[in-house]
Amino acid sequence: MGRALIEAVSEAEGVSLTAAIDRPGNSLIGSDAGELAAIGKLGVAVVDNLDAVKNDFDVLIDFTAPAATIKNAEFCAQYGKKMAIGTTGLSAEQKAQLEASASKTAIMFAPNMSVGVNLCFKLLELAARVLGDEVDIEVLESHHRHKVDSPSGTALRMGEVVAETLGRDLNKVAVYGREGQDGPRDRETIGFATVRAGDIVGEHTVMFAADGERVEITHKATSRMNFARGAVRACRWLNERTTGLYDMQDVLGLR
């Protein structure tokens, strides 16, 4: 994902790559970011901490892990840097910490920065409103074998969009996998099924199933560049904001 971000920033107008950060101890520290992304030398060396480049950037794109993201958000809030976050798996407590940082700087936080996925969020809202409580709702998602959180942040957000539209609390109605003789399906539940295999970039389907017909809204990603280009688009949008916590629905004008 880091390489895709470097490429996306480098090919976009109105933005430039001025810093690149990886975890301490990584063997790539000191390498040229452009050469790592196979796009040619950029003159930007990879460093292992934000403090080393705090005067070199305006917006940080963060695709890391929850603990690192929260630490980076606190840093950005302290030094007036804006932030586009694609990290998933944050706890409720960590999301509250993110909101605290957003009171001091502008942060765009989205489980998926793909324009197509965010359009699907809007379509899911419409489908849930029209189909209402007359359908069974299932969320199916597939990712590569290295993904560490399950269900994906995108799948959870899809479930949240549907639940909020129907006036349900996802924490109470979500069912994560089924096994054995667990009885007839409760119409109020929203089911999640997860696949981890090979190099699948990301596939999500939300199924609205009734007796006699089924509506499915599906998004399939074949390249990480979709997410990277969405992140760059968010950076441009954040440039006009000072404080607040936003998501890609705000960036795309779908709110």
143 is catalytic: yes
Q: Which two tokens stand for residue 30?
A: 């000191």
Q: Is 51 helix (H, G, I), strand (E, B) or coil?
A: helix
Tell me whether the omega of the peptide bond preceding residue 184 falls within 30 degrees of 0, making it cis. Answer: no
How far apart are alpha carbons 135 and 232 in whole angstroms? 37
Catalytic entry in 143, 144, 172, 204: 143
Query: Would you give the DSSP letter of residue 243?
Result: S
Beta bridge partners of 188: none
CA 185 from centre of chain: 30
Catalytic entry in 147, 172, 204, 219: 147
What is the residue whose two structure tokens read 């917006």?
A: 59
Q: Which residues contact 201 (CB under 8 A, 6 or more apart)?
A: 143, 144, 221, 222, 223, 224
Tell me the torsion sign for CA atoms 29, 34, 37, 40: negative
The catalytic site residues sit at 143, 147
